[in-house]
Amino acid sequence: MAKSSASPSGPPGKAKISVAAGGSDNAEGSSTSSAGMAVFGYIAGGILVWSLIGWGLDNLFKTQWMVVGGALLGLIGGMYLSFAPRFRHRQVKEDLAEAEGSAGKTTDQS
């Protein structure tokens, strides 16, 4: 049997914002495991990188609290990178709906 190859960008006319925003890598549209791995990667990577930066700053300045601050900063940054595209995508949809609604009002009055 020959496998059909589907476009990774999904159906025509639909733009893929990001995996965390619900983008799909296959034709069926089920990408929950890849989206979960992307979210986990952003958060774990942010914590790891910023903890290492905090550890380096702790050694440089002879403090003991910057590694914890770095871990918290990495957590917040990873969560932002994971979920901000979803909120941005929702805002774009609302803006488009509002623009279409106002465009309909202006053409009806002429």
Supply the range of the domain harboring residue 91.
Answer: 33-98
- Could you tell me if residue 73 is inside a domain? yes
pTM for the model: 0.59
Q: Determine the Cα–Cα distance for residues 43 and 77; give it in Å rounded to an integer.
A: 8
pLDDT at 4: 46
- Could you tell me if residue 25 is inside a domain? no
pLDDT over 60 (residue 6)? no
Segment 73-83 mean pLDDT? 94
- Could you tell me if residue 70 is inside a domain? yes
- Could you tell me if residue 49 is inside a domain? yes
- Could you tell me if residue 53 is inside a domain? yes
pLDDT over 70 (residue 26)? no
pLDDT at 90: 79
Paired tokens of 10:
């999904």
- Could you tell me if residue 64 is inside a domain? yes
- Could you tell me if residue 22 is inside a domain? no
Q: Name the residue with tokens 């925003």.
A: 21
- Could you tell me if residue 42 is inside a domain? yes
Structural domain count of the chain? 1
In this structure, are residues 70 and 55 in contact, taking their beta carbons and an 8 Å threshold?
Answer: yes
> What size, in residues, is the chain?
110
pLDDT at 32: 78
pLDDT over 60 (residue 56)? yes
